[in-house]
Structure 1
Amino acid sequence: MELFNEYEVSNLLDVSIHRLNAWANNGKLIPVKSNGVKQYDKQSLLRFEIAKEVFNSEWDEFIKIKPNREYTSIELFAGAGGMALGMEMAGVEHVLLNEFEKNACKTLRYNRPKWNVLEDDIQNVDFLEYKDKVDIVTGGFPCQAFSHAGKKLGFEDTRGTLFFDFARCINEVKPKIFIGENVKGLFTHDKGKTLEVIKQSIKDIGYTLIEPRVLKAMYYKVPQKRERLILVGIRNDLAKNIEKYTFPSKYHKVLTVSDAFKKGELYDKNVGKSEGVEYPKRKKEIMEKVPEGGNWKNLTDDLQREYMNGSYFLGGGKTGLARRLSMKKPALTIVCSPAMKQTERCHPKETRPLTVRESARIQTFPDSWEFQGAKGQQYKQIGNAVPVNLAYALGLSLVDFMNKIEQE
């Protein structure tokens, strides 16, 4: 009998310990007691689809995928290079990276002097010189509201938004396949109308969209609960091969903050010291009272009222407030401002926000990747990045698809 402790099961199924206990009480998932500790039999977990996928992981085979030839890409909204680095790890060759923000461009150039980094507003960039010369276009376009009044809801209706320029690049370059990534909320943005406009736009420029899917980074060797909506489009003349594209295989376990900070599966040494912000004196005194994995609800009522102010009387869980991470669980989504009240990311053991390098490790950047600009800019670059290992998995899925269609 293979047993898993309650933290491992909580992470695997992405439910709270409280929920697991409720399931134990109502008979949905019965724990096995071992030395007084709740554990769960692997067989009982196989009733959950996600457990089946993780336990039957093909990750070790998946990462053996190599390009049959040199596949090229254009990376848009490149940021600090999370997506680009993951794609590089998968064997994809970048011919152009476009990014507007100067400090992010400095980071890209510092770490990869040979990359062709174009520092400019995408709206100024003409991509026609790359027509029929590039296999892949990737990018995490910022999501802006579209106007729908009396419109035909297609490519032309996205003018003035950054998605329009993402689609314009694809239309001008004509890659075989593209990947766009965005926040999970795009699914429901404007009651789903925004995604419908995007779908129609992709159709308008001659691409067939695989049904969009939300991927949870924590199932792809990333110690973080980040969720991203992934759009994959295949050029219509190749769309008969659409079933040859498969989303990445999941990793065989869920990694935690401990895996990010300590020597092990992700890194060959413990996390080193790096720059970080500090709490003001009174905030630190209050945060000292929050236990590992806890939040404002673990404070005494008087401290709750002091810390939350008017928010104390509002509804909702607000569990991100005064939040201390847990070494035993994946981190919450890494944000641009780790000490901001609404998106608190306190170190599990020490009473301080995460440092730059701790944040970068949770995003699975290698320690050799150095961020440029002021401290606040470095945090922002990390918070906006695609986790490197998630991008690596997506890169492998693209290489696998390209290999398959070129074997015909």
Structure 2
Amino acid sequence: MAFKYIDLFAGIGGFHHALSEAGGECVFVSEIDAAAQRVYELNWGDDIAPRGGRPLIEGDIIPLTDPEVLHVPDHDVLAAGFPCQPFSKSGFQHGINETRGTLFFNIAKILEAKRPRAIVLENVRNLAGPRHAETWATIIRTLRDLGYRVSDTPTVFSPHLLPKSHGGTPQVRDRVFIVGEHVGRERAWAEADSTPTLERRPLDGWDPQDWNLDRDVLLDESEVPEKGSHVLSDDEVAWIDVWDDFVTTMLEVREGVQLPGFPIWADEFVVVPRITASTPAWKANFLRKNSQFYVEHREAIDAWKARHDGLKWMPASRRKLEWQAQDESSLWSCAMHLRPSGIRAKKTTYLPALVAITQTSIIGPRRRRITVREAARLQGLPDSFTFGTQPDAASFKQLGNGVSAGVVSYVLRASGILDRLNADSQPQVA
């Protein structure tokens, strides 16, 4: 018999894809965003168990978690990519009440009422950072009080650390996962430890440098639409051309020595760095480095700027280059992001994390951005997945907010919980 799961803060269904592929049956979905609801239903609507006149996809989770949790059916697995709001530093008490007022508390209320056999939660890596130590401790303590055996060391993982055969994709997307099994409060505390579900390292035998974007993600150019958000504007091409000229010029002048890794600021190519008493130390450091770089290569840099009308026609944020592409010989051979901090260039082995704003990767050799279909592949979604007719910007936002389906599957397999669910093997509760 298939295990039953609920999908909270469901987005467009990354958890759904992972858990259904693992043999689960979806019996409840909650997602507050109407556009994401439409995409979820478009793709997974036929797989959601009907519930006697209730909406196929529930909206805001808060009204659903009254003391009786009336509208949430019994289930074996609770999955949630929950938002992590700041927890109050005052009034902490032991137990569930210390998380009141946060969306995690609504998850805890469902756990308290339904006691599913397993949980899998996902959040941004920052949740495990030092600034949120109290938040993390509160979550772990609450889950243990509810009877869930969880580690107090965060499991942080990224899809680029897995080969494609294990659900990986060439996207650096570190996220925190909390995987737990219901064993009862006594055992949850007695068996508490600090061993993460898995370490943040490549799967044995896998080298992330073996990713190949052409082979593993990118469409054949014959499949790429002629129009869309992936097409670079004339201005964008011009900005990249200017900095490509800089890269090739510097490689020639420096006799093949790669560009420095500090941010290159064309506006700070001056003999004397513009540092005052109020200049922050980090900025003063970059100003000195840019000045020194300019002094060392003044003739070539002045000629480069003159070839491009002094760069004054370029926006300030485009007069900066963050070179992280090591020994690449051209900007057009890199993966790029047009960021407020400048043009960031990396090797095309794997891509930075998708984000919920339209800073989608530019694939230099293809002279375009990635498409929505390629971005969906980076999140482990099948090519049958559709966004309907909504604008690309909405689709990229949803993908940037989503969960990597392949990592969810791998974390559950690594924990052993998935095997026990499918074998209908329940732990002794104490």
TM-score of the superposed pair, with normalisation by structure 1: 0.68
Equivalent pair of 1:74/1:95 in contact (CA under 8 Å): yes
Q: Which amino acid aligns with 1:333?
A: A
Instruction: Determine the structure 2 residue equivalent to 1:169.
Output: 110
Instruction: Determine the structure 1 residue equivalent to 2:171.
Output: 224
Instruction: Determine the structure 2 residue equivalent to 1:352.
Output: 368
Give the distance between the partners of 2:140 and 2:146, measured in 1 at CA: 10
Determine helix, strand or coil for the equivalent of 1:364. coil
Equivalent pair of 2:379/2:405 in contact (CA under 8 Å): yes
Instruction: Determine the structure 1 residue equivalent to 2:393.
Output: 376
Give the distance between the partners of 1:119 and 1:407, measured in 2 at CA: 29
Q: Which amino acid aligns with 2:425?
A: E
Q: CA 1:407–1:159 in 2, change beyond 3 Å: closer, same or farther?
A: closer
Aligned residues: 331
- Cα offset, 1:193, TM superposition: 1.3
Identity across the alignment (%) = 24
Equivalent pair of 1:202/1:209 in contact (CA under 8 Å): yes
- 2:331 is aligned with 1:331: no
- Cα offset, 1:338, TM superposition: 3.3
Instruction: Determine the structure 1 residue equivalent to 2:404.
Output: 387
Residues 135-190 of structure 1: CA deviation (Å, up to 9, x unaligned): 11111101110112132264223222211112222222210110111111101253
Instruction: Determine the structure 2 residue equivalent to 1:284.
Output: 237
Within 5 A, what are the aligned runs for 1:27-176?
69-116=1-48, 117-126=56-65, 127-128=69-70, 130=72, 133-152=74-93, 154-176=95-117
Segment drifting more, 249-258 vs 220-229: 249-258
- Cα offset, 1:280, TM superposition: 4.7
Q: CA 1:257–1:278 in 2, change beyond 3 Å: closer, same or farther?
A: farther
- Cα offset, 1:403, TM superposition: 4.9
Residues 294-325 of structure 1: CA deviation (Å, up to 9, x unaligned): 99957866689986738989x9x999741345
Quick one: which of 345, 367, 376 aligns to 2:383?
367
Determine helix, strand or coil for the equivalent of 1:144. coil
Give the distance between the partners of 1:147 and 1:407, measured in 2 at CA: 36
Instruction: Determine the structure 2 residue equivalent to 1:233.
Output: 180
Equivalent pair of 2:157/2:176 in contact (CA under 8 Å): yes
Q: CA 1:281–1:229 in 2, change beyond 3 Å: closer, same or farther?
A: same
Give the distance between the partners of 1:385 and 1:185, measured in 2 at CA: 16
Instruction: Determine the structure 2 residue equivalent to 1:36.
Output: none
Quick one: which of 384, 399, 402 aligns to 2:418?
399
- Cα offset, 1:231, TM superposition: 0.8
Give the distance between the partners of 1:322 and 1:81, measured in 2 at CA: 32
Q: Which amino acid aligns with 1:378?
A: S
Q: Which amino acid aligns with 2:64?
A: V
Runs of 5+ consecutive residues of structure 2 not aligned to the other structure: 49-55, 163-167, 248-257, 270-304, 325-338
- Cα offset, 1:355, TM superposition: 1.7
Quick one: which of 247, 250, 253 aligns to 2:206?
253
Higher Rg: 2
Give the distance between the partners of 1:148 and 1:102, measured in 2 at CA: 33
Give the distance between the partners of 2:182 and 2:196, measured in 1 at CA: 13
Residues 197-217 of structure 1: CA deviation (Å, up to 9, x unaligned): 212221332323223211122
Q: CA 1:299–1:188 in 2, change beyond 3 Å: closer, same or farther?
A: closer
Instruction: Determine the structure 1 residue equivalent to 2:280.
Output: none
Give the distance between the partners of 1:310 and 1:333, measured in 2 at CA: 21
- Cα offset, 1:90, TM superposition: 1.7
| Runs of 4+ deviating beyond 6 Å | 240-245, 292-296, 303-308, 310-313, 317-320
- 2:316 is aligned with 1:309: yes
Instruction: Determine the structure 2 residue equivalent to 1:201.
Output: 142
TM-score of the superposed pair, with normalisation by structure 2: 0.65
Runs of 5+ consecutive residues of structure 1 not aligned to the other structure: 1-68
Equivalent pair of 1:73/1:138 in contact (CA under 8 Å): yes
Q: CA 1:370–1:310 in 2, change beyond 3 Å: closer, same or farther?
A: closer
Q: CA 1:378–1:114 in 2, change beyond 3 Å: closer, same or farther?
A: same
Residues 254-273 of structure 1: CA deviation (Å, up to 9, x unaligned): 457964543x6x79x74732
Q: Which amino acid aligns with 1:273?
A: V
Give the distance between the partners of 1:208 and 1:404, measured in 2 at CA: 19
Q: What root-mean-square deviation, in Å, do the aligned CA atoms of Structure 1 and Structure 2 show?
A: 4.0
Equivalent pair of 2:155/2:196 in contact (CA under 8 Å): no
Determine helix, strand or coil for the equivalent of 2:90. coil
Quick one: which of 158, 168, 179 aligns to 2:120?
179
Instruction: Determine the structure 2 residue equivalent to 1:273.
Output: 224
- Cα offset, 1:228, TM superposition: 0.7
